[in-house]
Amino acid sequence: MLKKIRIESKLASLRVVENTVDEITCELGISYNNYGKILITLLEAVNNAIVHGNKLEPEKFVDITIEFKEQKLKIKVKDEGPGFSPESVPDPTIPENIEEVNGRGVFIMSRLADEIKYSRKGNSVTIVFNNVVS
């Protein structure tokens, strides 16, 4: 299974992402627990691409590729922004960052997915979930 979507850099586009996750869940028979992990992680990645990467600029797009093979769901999210360094995102669990709003998405993604890999430039992320279909 291979699915590619391109969305505008508008928060309303998150609905398209949610619908796509619903479709692939039905198509592949993904369990409820895995559905939640996939949905939250992908929404965080796309939200970051729209807001932080593309700065909500409507002429910029976010490309999402979803591939399922050999019991792995691999999702790539790429924006048209300048990129960032994931290491520069402060740890939201340390006391001085507890009340900070930013940085939680990257942290949540790293806890829910089996693997997260950022491109060298930092404007794309590949997310892997293992054994999502029972």
pLDDT digits (tens, 9 = 90+) for 5-62: 999 999 999 999 999 999 999 999 999 889 999 999 999 999 999 999 999 999 999 9
Q: Are 116 and 25 in contact (CB under 8 A)?
A: no
Tokens 């928060």 sit on residue: 11
What does the chain come to in residues?
Answer: 134
pLDDT digits (tens, 9 = 90+) for 75-102: 999 999 999 998 888 787 888 888 877 7
> What was the pLDDT predicted at 90?
79
pLDDT digits (tens, 9 = 90+) for 96-133: 888 877 778 899 999 999 999 999 999 999 999 999 99
Q: Are 43 and 112 in contact (CB under 8 A)?
A: no
The class (CATH top level) of 2-130 is alpha beta
Residue 74 in this model has a pLDDT that exceeds 90: yes
Q: Are 125 and 131 in contact (CB under 8 A)?
A: no
> What was the pLDDT predicted at 4?
98
Closest CA to 123 of 83, 74, 96, 94: 83
The domain spans of the chain are 2-130
Band (pLDDT 50/70/90 cuts) for residue 134 is confident
